[in-house]
């Protein structure tokens, strides 16, 4: 069955109907039931759009990463942070305790307790004598001279002239 | 004849709306369910506009993160889908803005493109090379067709025919009046209708 060609739906109307289902008037609906040509034009456009949608969906990969709620992570972090907080507080407290104990021990020694001393080494032992000699003369003579362990022969007055001592108030 | 009791029809919109209400009230499980339902749609929507799986994944994460953080502000839970699309549209705009900025540094951009080509064509990790070529050709043709449309026409066309949103929803997503959306949609569809080469390709293509 074919309706009168004069009453065919215009391209513009077909476009509107495809874009928006609500745009179709009752008279157009009636016409479509009778007109093969208009029905074909409408269904062709609709089917092309449907085909485009399907192919686009097919040509789209599936995501490999999915959304994970951040709150779940932050809950874990919160627990972990709380643990670290307790650990830090504990270590600070213990360090403070150690410091207090050392300070009290240093200033207010309890009566009857003397500081521990190492036993004096036996100076007659030849090995110890050698070790002491080495310790005293550990540096070569030139270095000892520089460090004034050996008198370098500099005149103290000359040095004072070059570098005035800080308590010199001659300039004031 | 014994009456068969069939389960009530599964109403997607009602489910989403109820889940959105529960999620807004602090139900994390409801939000996770919402993500499960809506993530594929939102991901596809973003991919159609970026053509990069990794970028689409990143933007999709941003969209749901933003939604999760702003969920308390959602006044109409039944409109969560439109709201997510709106966030996604804005994120995609930001993405294209960044891409444009990047393209100013053409050397860097060329290097990026080379890197992309060498590492992984979008979403082709588990498909054969022929499929990859077919898909690439498909998206090139789509791009050529969309190139004839203005930005607004492109957006409206994609939202209507690829993302399957109604005109009212599109108006909400784009913050435009329904009549504006319709105007752009009619123009875009008219151009699609007259692009006989693309329509012929669509009929033959099999991505």
pLDDT digits (tens, 9 = 90+) for A51-110: 999 999 999 999 998 888 875 555 566 667 778 888 888 999 999 999 888 887 766 655
Percent above pLDDT 70 for chain B: 83
CA distances (Å), origin B155, targets A14, B45, B52: 21, 11, 18
Amino acid A103: pLDDT: 83
Q: Which tens digits make up the pLDDT trace of A119-136?
A: 555 567 788 888 877 777
In a domain, B7, yes or no: no
pLDDT for B66 equals: 92
Tally A–B CB contacts below 8 A: 95
* Residues B172-197, mean pLDDT to the nearest whole number: 95
Q: Does the structure show a pLDDT above 90 at B123?
A: no
Q: How far is A66 from chain B (nearest CA, A)?
A: 8
Q: What is the CATH number of the domain that holds B181?
A: 1.10.10.10
Residue B151 included in any domain: yes
| Substitution target from B31, B43, B154 for chain A, most A beta carbons within 10 A | B43
Task: With beta carbons less than 8 A apart as the criterion, state whether A18 and B192 touch.
Answer: no
CATH number, domain with residue B24: 1.10.1740.10
Most confident segment among A14-28, A100-114, B73-87, B148-162: B148-162
- Structural domain boundaries, residue B64: 12-107
| Inside any domain, residue B23 | yes
The alpha-carbon gap from B1 to the nearest alpha carbon of chain A, in Å, equals 37
Alpha-carbon B72 to chain mean position:
24
| Average pLDDT across chain B, whole number | 85
* Burial A148-170, CB ≥16 within 10 A → b, else e: eeeeeeeeeeeeeeeeeeeeeee
Do B25 and B78 reside in the same domain of the chain? yes
Same domain, B91 and B32: yes
Chain B: residue whose CA lies nearest to A41: B193
Q: Is the Cβ pair B207, A59 closer than 8 Å?
A: yes
Q: Does B68 reach chain A within 8 Å, measured CB to CB?
A: yes
Counting the structural domains of chain B, the total is 2
> What is the predicted pLDDT for the residue at B6?
44
pLDDT score recorded for residue B119: 42
Give the chain B residue whose CA is nearest to the CA of A51: B202
Determine, yes or no, domain membership for B121.
no
Q: Which residues of A touch B142 (CB under 8 A)?
A: 52, 56
Question: Packing angle between helix B196-204 and helix A36-58, nearest 10 degrees?
Answer: 60
pTM greater than 0.90? no
- Final residue before a domain boundary, out of B107, B137, B154: B107
Can you give the pLDDT at residue A149? 54
């Amino acid at each position: 069955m074919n309706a009168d060609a004069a009453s065919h739906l215009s391209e513009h109307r077909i476009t509107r109907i495809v874009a928006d289902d609500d745009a179709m008037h009752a008279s157009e609906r009636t016409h479509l039931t009778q007109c093969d040509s208009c029905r074909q034009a409408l269904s062709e456009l609709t089917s092309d759009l449907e085909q485009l949608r399907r192919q686009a969906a097919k040509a789209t990969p599936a995501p490999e990463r999915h959304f994970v709620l951040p709150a779940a992570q932050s809950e874990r972090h919160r627990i972990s942070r709380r643990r670290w907080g307790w650990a830090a507080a504990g270590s600070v407290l213990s360090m403070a305790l150690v410091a207090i104990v050392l300070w009290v021990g240093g200033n207010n020694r309890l009566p009857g307790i003397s500081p521990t001393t190492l036993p004096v080494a036996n100076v007659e032992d030849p090995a110890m004598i050698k070790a002491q000699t080495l310790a005293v003369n550990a540096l070569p003579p030139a270095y000892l001279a520089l460090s004034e362990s050996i008198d370098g022969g500099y005149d103290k007055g000359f040095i004072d002239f070059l570098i005035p001592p800080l308590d010199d108030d001659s300039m004031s | 004849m014994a009456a068969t009791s069939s389960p009530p029809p599964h109403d997607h919109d009602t489910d989403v709306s109820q889940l959105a209400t529960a999620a807004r009230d602090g139900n994390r499980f409801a939000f996770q369910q919402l993500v499960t339902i809506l993530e594929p749609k939102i991901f596809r929507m973003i991919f159609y506009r970026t053509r990069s799986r990794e970028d689409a994944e990143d933007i999709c994460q941003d969209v749901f993160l933003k939604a999760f953080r702003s969920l308390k502000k959602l006044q109409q839970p039944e409109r969560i889908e439109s709201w997510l699309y709106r966030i996604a549209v804005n994120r995609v705009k930001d993405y294209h803005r960044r891409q444009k900025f990047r393209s100013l540094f053409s050397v860097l951009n060329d290097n990026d493109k080379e890197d992309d080509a060498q590492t992984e064509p979008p979403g082709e990790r588990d498909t054969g090379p022929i499929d990859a070529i077919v898909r690439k050709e498909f998206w090139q043709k789509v791009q050529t067709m969309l190139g004839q449309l203005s930005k607004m026409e492109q957006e409206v066309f994609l939202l209507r025919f690829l993302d399957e949103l109604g005109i009212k929803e599109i108006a909400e997503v784009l913050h435009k009046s329904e009549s504006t959306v319709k105007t752009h949609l009619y123009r875009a569809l008219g151009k699609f209708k007259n692009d006989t080469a693309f329509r012929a390709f669509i009929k033959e293509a099999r991505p």
